[in-house]
Amino acid sequence: MKQLQDAHHPRCVVCGVGNKKGLKLTFQVLANGSVEGRVPCRRIFQGYKGLLHGGVISAILDSAMTNCLFAHDVVAVTGELTVRFLYPVPLTRDMVVRANIRESSPPLHYMEAQLTQNNRVVARASAKFVTAKPPEGRVSGKGGLSAGD
């Protein structure tokens, strides 16, 4: 997972270690093949007063699903993303994001993710990801794609 992340997302605003202003989220692979990451709430990502911006929530969910695919040696791009915002997310408490593969039938991968705060699901997402050939000379997973750094 780390090799694909470093090769394809080095400056990602959510998980890239090379982005000084990004979240720099790290993900752990769980026994069931899903991934989990701890998400700090930072005031810099505020939308409405005291609340996490919805676009940031969407990006976190999308990144978790991307990293779940990395954990399965797949590099893919988001083809469709649906986010359900269930509760406002106050900037006073950190969160946990989890993602899993619902179904994989290359080149399509159907993903799910959820963001929890205080053990309550505050947002969830479903997505379709698409794999393709990587540009020459790039590190890739099985049938992976470089998403244009």
Q: For 17-55, write each residue's pLDDT tens digit.
A: 767 777 778 899 999 999 999 998 888 889 999 999 999
pTM: predicted TM-score of the whole model, two decimal places: 0.83
Residue 95 phi, psi dihedral angles, 5° rounding: -130, 170
pLDDT single digits (tens) 59-117: 999 999 999 999 999 999 999 999 999 999 999 999 999 999 999 999 999 999 999 99
Residue 110 phi, psi dihedral angles, 5° rounding: -100, 120
Beta strands in 93-140 (DSSP E): 95-105, 108-117, 120-131
Q: Which residue has the higher pLDDT, 95 or 4?
A: 95
What local confidence, expressed as pLDDT, does residue 140 receive? 44
| Residue-range domains of the chain with CATH | 2-131 (3.10.129.10)
Q: Do the beta carbons of residue 16 and residue 24 sit within 8 Å?
A: yes
